[in-house]
Amino acid sequence: MHSVSIRSLDLAFGSVKVLKDLDLDIHDGEFLVLLGSSGCGKSTLLNCIAGLLDPTDGQIFIKERNVTWLEPSERGIGMVFQSYALYPQMSVEGNLSFGLKNAGLPKAEIAERVARAAKILQIEPLLKRKPGALSGGQRQRVAIGRALVRDVDVFLFDEPLSNLDAKLRADLRVEIKRLHQKLENTMIYVTHDQVEAMTLADRIAIMKGGQIMQLDTPAEIYNRPRNRYVAGFIGSPSMNFLDGGLSDGVFETGGERFDISGYPFEGAATGPAEMGIRPEHVATGHDLDGLPIQADVTVELVEPMGSDTQVWTTLAGQSFRFRMDGQAEIRDGDTIRIGIDPTKASFFDKKSELRL
């Protein structure tokens, strides 16, 4: 059963199309992340699902009920905003209960829901405080709690962690994951942070220009990106791309010829193409044994990151970087031999930018 279904959704502001003929099915109990750079349409799509924006065309279904033109309060959703949106003059308890009081729920049920949400989010000691006396992480917990007390089937998160520092983001990301495991509700989460997407999602929808570029599990998107945009967007540091051409199991780039006969092409592949290889898939030292692609490169820049070290160099006349162990003893100007397993690479047609 689909918890949320979107059919042929369009949204335009004047002559500018923000969402373009978009279709999306979200499974019951799924954690789906809408991921993309600023302006790709991810928050606009979330606001359409929430009822905060009216689509130009198309339909939205929640639990098989057409909600396209219903008010937000009639859709059975709870929303958590980036800006917390708490009432400063009210206590935490007042913020949590405000919407329920307006809905006319009995006092006993309101108290029960607030107590349950406070326990789940571990904010019970904060109930009598006002937002001004809370940290950023505590405020965001309260904002999540305000959605939680509504007891709905679908929760919408609009970049809820982007205002927090790195440590708080990591901590609260774990809490949101645990919350989903405990509640098993459908959650739709918007972010531009790929770490959040990869760690939280059951599936990720990567968006660009108002369209979904790829909808799949984090592992599939990481290992088999559908096009060059997805390949370059996912991964930190980002994927290396070498410009060249394919012919008879060989990739030619910058005067070099690489044996890629082990790559699982679907049918014959010839012509202009790009080879993509993630920095963490570049081998050095003892891991080179048996690899068909090997080259000596000169280290141009070393970036120690603690757990690993990023090394910048040039391969076949093109900028290239790879990862080494954090304790690796390597300096600018060193020559090092690297290797590539073609089965871990990705190849993209130069014209269509689709995966080969």
**Its pTM surpasses 0.95:** no
Asked whether residue 202 carries a pLDDT value surpassing 90, the answer given is yes
Average of pLDDT values for 248-277?
89
pLDDT tens-digit profile of 343-355? 999 999 999 999 9
Average of pLDDT values for 64-79?
91
Average of pLDDT values for 72-92?
87
CATH class of 2-229: alpha beta
Angle at 198 between CA 197 and CA 203, to 5 degrees: 75
Average of pLDDT values for 5-32?
95
- Phi/psi of residue 181, nearest 5 degrees: -65, -35
Question: Domain map of the chain by residue range?
Answer: 2-229, 237-349
The pLDDT-based confidence of 55 (bands split at 50, 70, 90) is very high
Average of pLDDT values for 185-193?
94
pLDDT of residue 83: 80
pLDDT of residue 197: 94
pLDDT of residue 37: 92
pLDDT tens-digit profile of 296-331? 999 999 999 888 999 999 999 999 999 998 888 899
CATH class of 237-349: mainly beta
